């Protein structure tokens, strides 16, 4: 598979927040972005719990299910298994320069901070950091322990963007979807992608 220079790696881990992941994936695909998707086993459990959607464990079957849902091609959306070490995302010579982990579990956060690279999600993040690409982590945990905060600080000092899934309320949300869109819109903003989910502060208001 050819990897576009603008391709994006999206990793989904086992933290609560499956709606954020699904909405983000939907928006990326709607913008014709090429997405390399990595999903942990725990994330599949969360999807079943929060979205009532039991995704297949096998990467190929999972990819087929997701492509059918979003009506996209295999060229646009590719799914890789956790030990698929020949995936483009595992090498600095081929990996996309932008990666999102949404939601990001504190376990994955710790592994990335330590450079563990024990599975493809951790390795892909390690590659983006070492290649000085853009890595955005969306943790969803509360309260945060000193360990969590120290890991976040360590990664932030390396240039990683930490964006907790903490929606605002100044836009007067009327539904859960509005709260989800708030977080997804901020992530898209940081990627430099156009979005109409949430107006930027001060725009569209009368002066």
Tell me if 100 is assigned to some domain: yes
Q: 55 in a domain, yes or no?
A: yes
Looking at per-residue pLDDT, the higher value among 145 and 198 belongs to 145
- Yes or no: say if 57 and 41 are a contact pair by the CB < 8 Å rule: yes
Nearest CA to 161 out of 138, 184, 143 is that of 138
Cα separation of 165 and 169, whole Å? Answer: 13
Sheet holding 8-12, edge to edge: 77-80, 35-39, 8-12, 98-104, 134-139, 161-162
CATH number at residue 104: 3.40.50.1950
Q: Does 31 reside within a domain?
A: yes
- Residues 23 and 185 sit within 8 Å (Cβ to Cβ): no
Q: How do residues 76-135 score in pLDDT, each as one tens digit?
A: 999 999 999 999 999 999 989 999 999 999 999 999 999 999 999 999 999 999 999 999
- What is the pLDDT, as a whole number, of residue 4? 61
Q: Does 145 reside within a domain?
A: yes
CA–CA separation, 200 and 104 (whole Å)? 25
State which residues form the domain around 186: 8-191
**pLDDT confidence band for 207 (50 / 70 / 90):** very low
Give the pair of three-digit tokens for residue 81: 């298994």
Q: Residues marked as binding for FMN?
A: 14-16, 40, 105-108, 140
Instruction: Establish if 202 belongs to a structural domain.
Output: no
pLDDT, tens digit, 9 for 90 and up, residues 13-33: 999 999 999 999 999 999 999
- Give domain status of residue 3, yes or no: no
What does the pLDDT read at residue 87?
A: 96
Q: Which residues are annotated as a binding site for dimethylallyl phosphate?
A: 170, 186
Q: How many domains is the chain built from?
A: 1
Q: Which residues are annotated as a binding site?
A: 14-16, 40, 105-108, 140, 170, 186
Residue 76 lies in a domain: yes
The answer to the question of residue 198 being in a domain is no
Whole-angstrom Cα distance, residue 132 to residue 126?
Answer: 10
Closest by CA position to 74, among listed 85, 59, 58: 59
d(CA 167, CA 184): 9
Of 137, 102, 108, 105, residue with least CA distance to 19: 102
């Amino acid at each position: 598979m050819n990897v576009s220079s603008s391709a994006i790696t999206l990793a989904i881990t086992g933290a609560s927040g499956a709606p954020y992941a699904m909405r983000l994936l939907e928006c990326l695909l709607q913008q014709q972005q090429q997405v390399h998707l990595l999903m942990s086993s725990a994330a599949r459990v969360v999807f079943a719990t929060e979205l009532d959607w039991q995704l297949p464990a096998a990467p190929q079957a999972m990819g087929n299910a997701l492509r059918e849902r979003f009506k996209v091609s295999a060229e646009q959306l590719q799914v890789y298994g956790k030990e698929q070490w020949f995936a483009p995302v595992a090498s600095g010579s081929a990996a996309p320069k932008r990666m999102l982990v949404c939601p990001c579990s504190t376990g994955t956060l710790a592994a990335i901070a330590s450079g563990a690279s024990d599975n493809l999600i951790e390795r892909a993040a390690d590659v983006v950091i070492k290649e000085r690409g853009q890595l955005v982590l969306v943790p969803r945990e509360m309260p945060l322990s000193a360990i969590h905060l120290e890991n976040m600080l360590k990664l932030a000092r390396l240039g990683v963007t930490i964006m907790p899934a903490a929606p605002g309320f100044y836009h007067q949300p009327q539904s859960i979807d509005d709260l989800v869109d708030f977080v997804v819109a901020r992530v898209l903003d940081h990627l430099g992608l156009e979005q109409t989910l949430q107006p930027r502060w001060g725009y569209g208001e009368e002066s």
